[in-house]
Structure formats: C-alpha cells, structure tokens
Structure 1
Amino acid sequence: MPFSSSKYWLGAFAAPMLSGAASAQPAAFDFDSLKGRPNLNQTVLGTSGKWSLEKLLALTQAEGMALWKTLPAVALAEMNGHYLGLGPDAKDEVYQKNYAAYMFSETSPRGYWLGKAFRPLTATTGEGYNRWRFAGGRIDRNLRMATRMGTSLIDGKPAFIMDYSAFNKTTLTDEVRKLDDFIYLGAATTDAGGGKRSKPAFFILVGPTDEWVGPKTKP
C-alpha cells in the first residue's frame, strides 16, 4: 500500500547524499552558539499547525503531564503502525542526559529507542511493541504490550492503555491521549505499592511513520 505524504511524513526529511560526502569529516561545531535561540515553528507536525517538533521538545516533564491531563483519549483504531518516540524535559539537563544514556544509546542494554508500534485486533483490544536500534544497524522489535481502552491509573479518566504485564514480568503501564492528528502524549507509571503508582514519565509519540511489521527479538 503506498504511503500518503501527509501521514508518513518522516521520509520527507531524508536528504540526498552528495557525491563524495560519505568520506568527508564534519567540521567542528560550537554547540554553545545554539543556546537560547528561538526556533519553535520550523518542523510543523499534526494538522492544526499549532505544534512543531521544536515546541514539543521545549516542554518540561511537568508541562507535558499538565497538558496530558487536559486531553481526550485516542481511539484504539487510530493507533495503527510505527510511531516515533520522544522523551523531552527542556529545563532539566541532568534528566535529559540520563534519559538519553538509558533510552537513546545503541550501547545501552535496551538500545536506542525508535518508538512504538500498534495494531488493533478487535474493536476494543490490540497489541504493540517497542523498537530499538543497536550498533551495526540491527533493529529489535520487542517489549510487547496488550492495548485497550480503559480508565487511567493516574487521573481516572479515559485513556488508551498499554499493558506490558500481558507479555512481561513488569507493572509498567503506558497511557496515551491525543494532542493533535498524528501527535500523542503518553505517561508511563509502575506499581509503587499501597495502591499507588510511580511519578509519571511523560513521553511523546508522532506518527504513524510507517506500517506495522510485527515483533522480533534479537537472534
């Protein structure tokens, strides 16, 4: 099935390789020169035009969770395909570095987190997995979950639920709500004992970027 340019938007950012560029070494760059620059509207996502990639990455964890609590649940049938995953906290550099070391590193035990994938199985249930890249280009599709519409463990309102305990020995649960077409905000918690949940970890999903493939673990 051909991909719609509006739906599978990531391919538009694939730059052509110039002749001889593969052997060239990048020049040293002063990253401090980028600090404090306003650049919030360059990569517009969704259909409303209100949200860009830069704006999403400028959110803090607290801002993301406050926004998440105002949103409606995304319909189960809408979550179908692969989704890019992001984990911003714009004002906490320590959090950013630790998150990157754990979730965005090919040398970490998990690998580099590419995002999640979903497909509906019935009108009320579905399944999904996470995608990870490792050194050498290997992609693992694992950390599976069962999906359903349900009541949030965080605020008691409707949410799209990812239940990891269906396939793994874990109490991890993700809950997703819709910010805009193709932009979804998520909150991850675990059992903290005494009927309580851990502090939510805010994340973002953008997509679908391509179609469902199916889970596959490393050899």
Structure 2
Amino acid sequence: MIAELRRLDTGGLLARFRNLQAPAISEIDGEYSAGLLAQPNLFAVVSGRAAVANPLGPWLCKGFRPVDEDSGRGYNTFDEFGRIRQRYPMRTQLAPSRYDGAPAYTLIYRAYSSMCGAIHMVDEVRRAAPGVYLGIGTWGFTDAQRRVPRPFLLTGPVGAYRGDIGTSRPAFTPGPRELPGPPH
C-alpha cells in the first residue's frame, strides 16, 4: 500500500482519499512516521521541502493522543541538528472533509498559537490500510490557497506520544477557514 501511494500523483491521491474511511479518534494514538507524497505544483514542492524536508531540520513524525471520544491533541516532531523537537500543536476531531463532505480525522492548527495556526493550516487524514494513513494538508490566507492539496503519508504508530505542547487560543472555535464544508 505504501509503495502504491508513493507512485500516485496528486490527482490519484485525492481520488484514493475520497474512497477511504476516517479513523476513530481513539485509533490514532502515538507517534506516526511522516513524509510528503506527490505535490500538486512546483510551489508546493519547494515550500514543502523547505518546511518539512529540510535537511537541517527534517520532519520525522506527527504525534497524537485522544482527549475524549470527539477530540484529541497532537504535534509535529522534527530533528533539529540532532535534537528531537515538537512543534506546531493541533487539535484533532472528526469533521466533514473539504473534498467530499465525508468524515475525516481533521487536524486544526489554529486552535493553538504557532506558525501553522497563523497560516490556517488544516490536515485531513483517512486510513489507507492498517497503520497506513493518507493525509491531505492545506494552508493559506485565501480560499483559493486553502484549496491546494498537499498530500502526505503517516505510518505507525512508531512510538509513544511525548506530551502536550503549545498555548491554546482562548475560546477558539473552528470557522469556515478551518472547516469549510464539502465542495459545492
């Protein structure tokens, strides 16, 4: 399954994503190895490499823990000059996908103060196989920017959740930038 996902272009990954099921909040618990898949355009390739495939601070994984039946917390882990660091906290919940309206395990970064929250990053995740998850990330300041899919792969769990990080935004409620609803 992993090799198959790595062979698909962005359109193929989106088509596959639409046919997958969302994992339950309780299913995603621990750290999951992470990597980018085919990106939709040169800007996405370059910005993705700069942000998460940077050899000076490569992206290693995402970590998650359920809080209750309806929500969880998470972070991204990077290797920064040999030191393992957690960055970019997020809230997790099941929400309608922006791609098809069906449930997706959704990572909302705006719930916490961070660079990813500031750029309105939202990831949607669905199960491709046991322990293999296809994610579609989005970010941007306009609706058009937030429609550009940035596929990624999660596998695991490969380790335990390391602990909560981040400062939550007081009284944050996801809005249409984070949860726009299905396409029209």
Q: 1:184 aligns with which of 121, 128, 133?
A: 133
Q: 1:150 aligns with which of 69, 92, 95?
A: 95
Using structure 2 for the length normalisation, give the TM-score: 0.77
Supply the distance in 2 between the matched residues of 1:209 and 1:194 (Cα, whole angstroms). 35
Which residue in the other structure is 1:164 paired with? 109
Supply the distance in 2 between the matched residues of 1:146 and 1:71 (Cα, whole angstroms). 21
How far 1:127 sits from its partner (Å)?
0.2
Which residue in the other structure is 1:112 paired with? 58
Q: Secondary structure at the match of 1:184?
A: strand
Backbone CA RMSD of aligned residues: 2.6
Supply the distance in 1 between the matched residues of 2:141 and 2:5 (Cα, whole angstroms). 28
Q: 2:124 aligns with which of 175, 184, 198?
A: 175
Supply the distance in 1 between the matched residues of 2:72 and 2:129 (Cα, whole angstroms). 21
Check conservation: 2:126, 2:134, Cα contact below 8 A: yes
Supply the distance in 1 between the matched residues of 2:68 and 2:12 (Cα, whole angstroms). 34
Supply the distance in 2 between the matched residues of 1:174 and 1:159 (Cα, whole angstroms). 9
Structure 1 segment 185-200 matched on structure 2, within 5 A: 185-191=134-140, 193=142, 197-200=146-149
How far 1:54 sits from its partner (Å)?
2.9
How far 1:148 sits from its partner (Å)?
0.8
Which residue in the other structure is 1:71 paired with? 20
Q: Secondary structure at the match of 1:73?
A: coil
Greater RCO (CA < 8 Å, at least 6 residues apart): 2
How far 1:81 sits from its partner (Å)?
0.2
Supply the distance in 2 between the matched residues of 1:104 and 1:87 (Cα, whole angstroms). 8
Structure-2 change in CA distance of 1:95 and 1:198 (3 Å)? closer
Supply the distance in 2 between the matched residues of 1:90 and 1:197 (Cα, whole angstroms). 14
Which residue in the other structure is 2:78 paired with? 132
Counterpart residue type for residue 207 of structure 1: G
How far 1:116 sits from its partner (Å)?
0.4
How far 1:123 sits from its partner (Å)?
1.0
Tell me how many residue pairs correspond in the alignment. 162
Identity across matched positions, percent: 30
How far 1:216 sits from its partner (Å)?
5.7
Q: Secondary structure at the match of 1:127?
A: strand
How far 1:208 sits from its partner (Å)?
0.3
Check conservation: 1:177, 1:184, Cα contact below 8 A: yes
How far 1:126 sits from its partner (Å)?
0.6
Consecutive unaligned residues of structure 2, counting only runs of 5 or more, are 167-184
Which residue in the other structure is 1:87 paired with? 36
Which residue in the other structure is 2:4 paired with? 55
Supply the distance in 1 between the matched residues of 2:91 and 2:40 (Cα, whole angstroms). 33
Supply the distance in 1 between the matched residues of 2:22 and 2:130 (Cα, whole angstroms). 12
Supply the distance in 1 between the matched residues of 2:15 and 2:141 (Cα, whole angstroms). 21
Consecutive unaligned residues of structure 1, counting only runs of 5 or more, are 1-50
Check conservation: 2:18, 2:99, Cα contact below 8 A: no
How far 1:211 sits from its partner (Å)?
0.9
